[in-house]
Amino acid sequence: MARPVEPPPTTWTFPPPHAADEDGIVGIGADLEPGTVLAAYRRGLFPMPAGRGRVPAWWSPDPRGVIPLDGLQVSRSLRRSCQRYRIGVDTAFEAVLHGCADPRRRGAWIDRRMRAAYLRLHELGWAHSVEAWTADGELAGGLYGIAIGGLFAGESMFHRHRDASKVTLVGLVERLVHGGATLLDVQWTTPHLASLGAVEIPREEYLSRLAEALSRPLPALWTR
């Protein structure tokens, strides 16, 4: 894949992250054009539908969930699971996006507009997937997110076989460390992510780490 293509700049202006309400919402509306979405990530925000109308909302939670790249918790059983799958990068982005957006999943939030937005960002070289494949070539699980400089902003993951999504996270972290990335954003911590090493940090600390990550070059794993 060639280096990412910078899209036309957004016509929208976002409020500062500190303007977020108690739920972490900075604003509602705007569009999901590539330039808008990238501007949000660079500002420390991310999009997720909200409300009954499922309109685009822009979030900056405090505290913020991250996985320290030197703090991933890999159990003995997970290490064994890693041996069962082959890891791919950007080999099935659309299939991973579809798996993450499955409306049968509890708490499904990735609607048609979100799928279209991230597919376009993938075509431009900003959105990426990591896949776990079985020995017979079946997609067992995957994750996707946005890579900007030394930041990887994880958006969602799914699995069809045991531990497959966890294995993709292990594969992602290994590749981020090797490539010189510094920040793996997971937005919020959950018990599942906490068991893998996710921690919460204050918004101010996240924004400081974000600025440092954005100043770094994009790891080569996303540009091969």
**Number of Cβ atoms within 10 Å of the Cβ of 107:** 4
Handedness of CA 3, 220, 64, 113 (dihedral sign): positive
Per-residue pLDDT at 43 exceeds 80? yes
Confidence band (pLDDT; 50, 70, 90) for 219? confident
Regarding whether 106 and 36 lie in a shared domain, the answer is no
Regarding whether 166 and 80 lie in a shared domain, the answer is yes
E strands of the chain, at which residues? Answer: 25-28, 46-50, 55-59, 64-66, 86-89, 127-133, 139-148, 151-159, 183-187, 199-201
**CA–CA separation, 21 vs 3, rounded Å?**
36
Please classify residue 111 by burial: count the beta carbons closer than 10 Å to its beta carbon, then call 0-12 exposed, 13-18 middle and 19+ buried: middle
Regarding whether 186 and 75 lie in a shared domain, the answer is yes
* Range from 28-37, 71-80, 98-107 carrying the lowest mean pLDDT: 98-107
Q: How many domains does the chain have?
A: 2
Answer for the pair 158, 100: CB distance below 8 angstroms, yes or no: yes
The mean pLDDT of 125-139, rounded to a whole number, is: 97
Query: pLDDT digit string (tens) for 86-114?
Result: 999 999 999 999 999 987 776 678 889 99
**CA–CA separation, 63 vs 167, rounded Å?**
26
Regarding whether 36 and 69 lie in a shared domain, the answer is no
Packing angle between helix 93-100 and helix 112-123, nearest 10 degrees? 160
The mean pLDDT of 186-199, rounded to a whole number, is: 94
The whole model's pTM is what? 0.95
* pLDDT value at residue 126: 96
Instruction: Tell the residue number behind the tokens 């969930």, with chain if given.
Output: 65
Q: Which residue range(s) make up the domain with 25?
A: 17-59
**Number of Cβ atoms within 10 Å of the Cβ of 65:** 20
Regarding whether 41 and 21 lie in a shared domain, the answer is yes
The mean pLDDT of 34-54, rounded to a whole number, is: 91
The mean pLDDT of 178-196, rounded to a whole number, is: 94
Query: Helix, strand or coil for residue 175?
Result: helix
Regarding whether 94 and 28 lie in a shared domain, the answer is no
Per-residue pLDDT at 215 exceeds 80? yes
Confidence band (pLDDT; 50, 70, 90) for 204? very high
